Amino acid sequence: MSTELELMRLQNDALKNESLRDELLATRESADPLSAFCKTCAEHGYDISIFELADMGQSFCDAMLRSVNGGGVEAPDGWNDYYEMFFEAIKK
């Protein structure tokens, strides 16, 4: 399954399961939040790695900029940060 689909599945499950959501939100307080997030994902059966999260955002931005006739100069801030967008989506 692609990382994007795994992240969408995790988001849907976190919105339905308060303890999962709280556990994921708690990873942000860790000394290494991305590693803690990916470890928690793995513990719950979601296959998401740090590299895949970064690559997913970069690939999305690259595709968006290539789609602009003549090529875009730079992407708007936040377009490539699926990690932050995930947390915004599960906050209540």
Q: pLDDT value at position 91?
A: 86
Q: pLDDT value at position 62?
A: 62
Q: pLDDT value at position 72?
A: 56
Q: How far apart are CA 71 and CA 2, in angstroms?
A: 27
pLDDT digits (tens, 9 = 90+) for 42-51: 999 999 988 8
Q: How far apart are CA 53 and CA 67, in angstroms?
A: 22
pLDDT digits (tens, 9 = 90+) for 11-44: 999 999 999 999 999 999 999 999 999 999 999 9
Tokens found for residue 18: 């308060």
Q: Model pTM?
A: 0.75
18 φ/ψ angles, rounded to the nearest 5 degrees? -65, -35
For the chain, give the mean pLDDT.
82
